[in-house]
Amino acid sequence: MQKKRQQMSKHLRIGVLSPSLESPHIENIIDNLETEVIIFTPRAINWRNKKVYGYLYSKGSRSKKACSFPAVVYNRCYTTKRKTVRKIAKHIGKNKIFNYTTKFDKWEVYQILQQSSLKHYLPATWLYQKQKVSSLLEEYKVLILKPSKGHFGENVYRLEKAGPEKYLLYGGSEWPILQRADYNHFLLDIETKTGSGTFILQQFIPLAHVHHSNFDLRLLLQKNDHGKWTVSAAMSRICMTNFWITNFSPQIRKAVDVLLEAGFKADRIMEELTTVSIKTAKILDRYLGLLGEISVDFGLDESGKPWIIEVNGMPTKNLFLHLEDPELQKRINLLPFQYAQYLIKR
């Protein structure tokens, strides 16, 4: 009976689809799992023989091996291309590979959430078209321009109509990178920034401050060993002085602590953020394929109302290292494997 159980555990192994075979944080977790785990890259799949080649972790040891397709796959490849994921799903089942979509399209996410009860938490958003800019600036005065599939705060700009003949463009800081008196010249400047890429325009939300700096709140959502969405971690990024994009953050701290220092009722706000973020995860799970983890970035306006600024399909867990909580870090790295084990049993 014991031999049969061991053979079964080998057959029902977890696969980690990764851009690299070296994944230090994951490897530390894998050593403590009873289930075998194989890390493999998209190029190391033999579709004809239905085998994957990579590092096999078993009982604390690691070896390079070719194995049959895993029972469940945890997708760690950050890309908009889903060809490999779709092919794996055909072999093992669509409900056996999670993080089906990792690089979210902000415009697609907005359209999905806009049709839900969460629409009141969304800043007004439009697909960027140059003919829309003039009327939107006239109405809103300040807009955010960002890539629909961007990340790390790259190519995010603030557009501002500061007067009848005063148009300003900002990068990450509070100092404009250019100023134009003529709108047509201003629009040409914007066009050079967008190029041939797909961008969105978003209503600018003035964020609340802590110690005279903007801050946001990131909640990490992960499915647990019962397949239920849970908030596994929460942090706050505090802007550098004279910056407005929170990606430029010298400080990353516990969300509750920052809320208290900013003068808000932390328990009430965290309860609301938890409810909203779990609803967000459930909705996107239905539309974007099976997911196992996402993060939701919130901004608070001066009244304390939360706004969904962005949803990330493959959250960077390393940011939570700044909280200096080893148990938290261990838990958030372990949860995807516990969820994988849940999927194996289904």
For the chain, give every residue range classified as CATH 3.30.1490. 125-203
296 contacts 219 by C-beta, under 8 angstroms: yes
pLDDT at 8 over 90: no
- What is the pLDDT, as a whole number, of residue 3? 44
pLDDT at 158 over 70: yes
- Residue of 65, 69, 43 lying closest to 54 (CA atoms): 65
Looking up tokens 């964020």 gives 207
18/26: higher pLDDT: 18
pLDDT at 5 over 70: no
Rounded Cα distance between 91 and 161, Å, is 54
Q: Rounded mean pLDDT of 316-330?
A: 92
- What is the pLDDT, as a whole number, of residue 11? 60
Q: Rounded mean pLDDT of 183-201?
A: 95
Average pLDDT value over all residues in the chain: 92
Q: Rounded mean pLDDT of 224-233?
A: 98
User: Of how many residues is the chain composed?
Assistant: 346
- Residue of 325, 231, 316, 313 lying closest to 269 (CA atoms): 231
For domain 106-121+207-345, the CATH architecture is: 2-Layer Sandwich (3.30)
For the chain, give every residue range classified as CATH 3.40.50.20. 2-98
11/257: higher pLDDT: 257
Count the Cβ atoms, other than its own, within 10 Å of residue 239: 25
3/99: higher pLDDT: 99
| Span of 63-77, 100-114, 142-156, 293-307 with lowest mean pLDDT | 142-156
- What is the pLDDT, as a whole number, of residue 26? 75
For the chain, give every residue range classified as CATH 3.30.470.20. 106-121+207-345
- 52-62 per-residue burial string, b: 16 or more CB within 10 A, e: under 16: bbbbbbbeeee
pLDDT at 93 over 50: yes
Answer whether CATH 3.40.50.20 is correct for domain 2-98: yes
pLDDT at 98 over 50: yes
Fold of 125-203: Dna Ligase; domain 1 (3.30.1490)
pLDDT at 247 over 60: yes
